[in-house]
Amino acid sequence: MYKSIVVPVDMCEDGFSSLALTHARELLDKKGCLHVVHVVPGYQNPWVGSFFPDDAFDKALKQAEKDLETFLEDFFTDDSVTYKASTLEGKPADMILKMADKVKADLIVMASHKHSRIEKAVLGSIANKVVGRAKIPVMVVKARDGRN
């Protein structure tokens, strides 16, 4: 059993977040904590950000925080699982690994999305980046039949 598990969730992919959380919950020690993190990509380029109103990103981040809390309240309806939710801005793989370091996680559990060979070769998936750079075990949960 693990005492501190980081679970990145993607609010855009229906079912993937629940899949990762279900597996993480099963592996969590009774006195442990799930650290659920949702990463919102920021304006990687200031030039791109200049096309949006000044408060647009702040509004999007606040909405992402609300969406995450609602999702987790629905997911953990009758559970006694301890969890902490964080919505962060940045490059997803970097932020997931920073969170794991910050909370001294002993496991990362994340869902794998279906990617084409070209996407994997050129861009790499977030899961691949996390697995390749993590200093702790990473469980990548593949979606079954109808979800990939």
Give the tokens for residue 123.
Answer: 């861009």
The model's pLDDT over 42-77, given as tens digits with 9 standing for 90+, comes to 766 566 566 777 788 888 889 999 999 999 999 998
- pLDDT at site 120: 53
Calculate the average pLDDT of the chain: 85
Whole-model pTM: value is 0.86
Kindly state the greatest CA–CA separation across the chain.
48
63: domain range? Answer: 2-147
Number of structural domains (the chain) is 1
Q: Measured between alpha carbons, how far is residue 100 from residues 3, 15, 68, 133, 135 in Å?
A: 12, 23, 18, 12, 9
Closest CA relative to residue 110, chosen from 84, 138, 143: 138
CATH of the domain at 24: 3.40.50.620
